[in-house]
Structures are given as structure tokens and as C-alpha cells.
Amino acid sequence: LHFGYGATEVVVAAPLDTLPLWRRANTFVALFARDADTLVFATDPAVRSYRDLAYGRELRWWVTPDAQAPAAPAVELYDGASASAAILSGAYQVVVSAGTTFDIFTIDIDGRAADAPAVRSPALVTANSSALPEVLGAVALYACARPGCWWIDGVEPRLRVRVYADAGPVTVRIE
């Protein structure tokens, strides 16, 4: 396997029951924030559909910060939703903007390779300069009120920050 900032050969485990996943550092991957049953309209209330605006307007931006790699390019989706990120003075900053479909965002920061120490154990997480509360678990994360909240998933390790961007761009700063 060759990857990195030059030709580097690395041997990694690839057990048959685990799908290896490779991502480029500092690049956003856009995913639906929650699990759903279908992408089409559903008439059965027990079926979760991304077409239900109360459910499908949430997006997850997944990123792995790396100060050694080129800066994260801004990314924009078909509906105009966008994200950009930078490591500034030891803090990690992400700016998200709503589009016509997506306006609630979970910023999912992979801490395994994160160069910004604040990502692994933040002392303060803010949205547009307002401190966000820490919550304990995924259920509380997806239930938090405006302007948002954050949670450290210690198993992964990942920092997840949920914010509402329907009133304009949101600058999330992790210190």
C-alpha cells in the first residue's frame, strides 16, 4: 500500500470482517447525520425517511485534522450547504453554512490523527463565540437545543459538535 506525502509503504491489518477505510486528511466527507430507512417519501410513520424535512435536514461533516497535510479546502454541496476548517493558534475552527436542504450540522472530528490537542480533549467549544454545553452520549447530542452542544466519543475517539445554521453561518471553535 502506498500513501502519504510521498511514496511510503505501510503494512496494515485487513481482517476479512472489517472493511478498511481510507480518507484524505483535511477533507470533508458529507454524510447523513442519522440512520434512516429510505431516501423516498414514506407513508408509514414507523419508517424514517430523509425526505421528511424534520429528519432529513441534518448533515454530518466528517473530517480528520492534520497540520502536516494541505489545509482543508472549503466544500459546497448541491444545495449550497458548505464547510471549511483550519487550525488557528492551537485551536481547530470549522465554519458551516446552511443550504436549501441542510441547516443542522454534526461536525464529526476524527481525533485519532488530529494534530490539534484541543480536538482530543477540548476545554471550550464555542459557536459564534457562545460556549456550547457538553453532553453525555449520542442520544443527548441529537436532542440538544439551539445553538448546539458537543460530545467526546472516547471509544472512537471523536469529537462531535452539533449546531444549527438556519440563521446564518456558524463558526465553531474548539480550544
The predicted pLDDT at position 174 comes to 92
pLDDT for 7 equals 60
Count CB neighbours of 58 within 10 A: 18
Residue 76, beta-bridge partner list: 82
Give the three cell numbers for residue 41.
417519501
pLDDT of 157 reads 80
The pLDDT tens digits along the chain (175 residues) read 444 555 667 777 888 887 777 777 778 888 877 777 777 878 888 887 777 766 668 888 888 887 676 676 788 988 899 999 888 887 888 999 999 988 899 999 887 765 556 677 889 999 999 999 999 999 999 899 999 999 998 787 889 999 999 889 999 999 8
Which residues lie closer than 8 Å to 113 by C-beta, 6 or more apart?
25, 64, 65, 66
pTM (predicted TM-score): 0.80
Spell out where 23-157 has E strands. Answer: 29-32, 58-63, 75-76, 82-88, 91-97, 104-110, 125-127, 130-131, 148-153
Instruction: Answer for the pair 132, 159: CB distance below 8 angstroms, yes or no.
Output: no
pLDDT computed for residue 101 by the predictor: 85
- CB-CB contact of 164 with 146 (8 Å): yes
How is residue 85 written as a grid cell?
Answer: 476548517
Residues forming beta bridges with residue 62, ordered by sequence position: 29, 108
Let me know: does 111 contact 120? Beta carbons within 8 Å.
Answer: yes
